[in-house]
Amino acid sequence: MLILTHFAMTALFYGVACGLFFVTLSRGHEGPGRHAFPALLAGVMSHVVYVGVDLIGDDTPPMSDIHSTLTVLSLGIVLAFLFATWRKPAMAILGAFVTPVVLVFFLASGLGRSVGHVPAGVRSALLPIHIVVNIAGFAAFALSFAAALAYVLQERLLKQKRLGGIFQRLPPLHVLDTFGLRATSIGVPLLTFSIISGVLIAVRSQPGLASLGATQFLAVVAWLVFAGVLLLRIAVGWRGRRAALGTILGFVCVILVLVGYVARAGGGA
């Protein structure tokens, strides 16, 4: 009962923060919008307590199933966002794009309780590192995705010459583009390591494995998209809408990787 209470409280705080960030985006920091960050911080504190209670009440290794992995992933994304806004306060408005992702992942972690634990044959010393790197990479991509969405919206408003309201509250296009580039530059090396370590773990658990499963294939596709966007940015100065759309496509592939993992784990439960 205690863990369900903390889960509900965390989801409620994140839901309220999500709504308030949308209010901030549409109306500014005056009025209800000024409470967006306090609600988000309340959600983070409740989330940390929830993780602690969950670990105390579970005798299985940390992040040994999709439930605990998604729980930590959602926390990792919001902590990465808070760190980014601490470094660059202008990015605070991206909470309108980040908090829905956090909320969806956190709610999905509750559904993941019915999924079985990682089989003993798959566990290794490399597995915790693989999962932590995955979480860090996904958090970086979530931030680049938020910046890309904001870029597409800001560019559309600019083309329509709607230069008030939301346009004034979003960061300038070049700021969003640079932020997305930096987040992607962090995520790609992490995803590279994650794919390599994932293959090593798969080969160890199933010697002689010669082909990629659907989840690994989607991870490779996500890597190709993000690495391609990063390469084009660095090599030929790719900027703007094309880079933003490529980033959005890459994050969709990342989401499909998580969906594939849930489906695979659920099938083996």
Q: Taking a C-beta distance cutoff of 8 angstroms, is the pair 73, 138 a contact?
A: yes
Write down the H helix ranges in the chain. Answer: 2-27, 36-56, 66-87, 95-111, 126-159, 166-169, 173-205, 214-236, 241-268
**What are 167's two structure tokens?**
């346009």
CA proximity to 25, closest of 81, 91, 101, 106: 91
Q: Residue 193 to residues 13, 66, 70, 159: CA-CA distances in angstroms?
A: 34, 20, 19, 40
Distance (Å, rounded) from C-alpha 59 to C-alpha 119?
Answer: 15
Q: Which domain holds residue 70?
A: 2-268
DSSP notation for 93-106: GGHHHHHHHHHHHH
Distance (Å, rounded) from C-alpha 48 to C-alpha 39?
Answer: 14
* Confidence at residue 1, expressed as pLDDT on a 0 to 100 scale: 63
Distance (Å, rounded) from C-alpha 225 to C-alpha 124?
Answer: 29
Distance (Å, rounded) from C-alpha 110 to C-alpha 14?
Answer: 14
Q: What angle do CA 134, 73, 260 make, to 5 degrees?
A: 65
Q: Per-residue pLDDT for the chain (269 aa), expressed as one digit of tens each?
A: 667 788 899 999 999 999 999 999 988 777 788 899 999 999 999 999 988 887 666 655 555 567 788 888 999 999 999 999 998 988 999 999 999 999 999 988 876 554 444 444 445 567 778 888 888 999 999 999 999 999 999 999 999 888 788 888 999 999 999 999 999 999 999 999 988 887 777 676 665 444 556 777 888 888 999 999 999 988 887 888 899 999 999 999 888 888 777 666 555 54
* Confidence at residue 263, expressed as pLDDT on a 0 to 100 scale: 66
Distance (Å, rounded) from C-alpha 75 to C-alpha 99?
Answer: 11
Q: What is the separation, in whole angstroms, between the first and last Cα of the chain? A: 24
> In degrees to the nearest 10, what's the CA dihedral of 258, 238, 179, 222?
10
Distance (Å, rounded) from C-alpha 133 to C-alpha 194?
Answer: 6
In the chain, the number of structural domains is 1
CA proximity to 173, closest of 241, 87, 232: 241
CA proximity to 44, closest of 93, 91, 2, 80: 80
Query: Tokens 């773990």 belong to which residue?
Result: 201
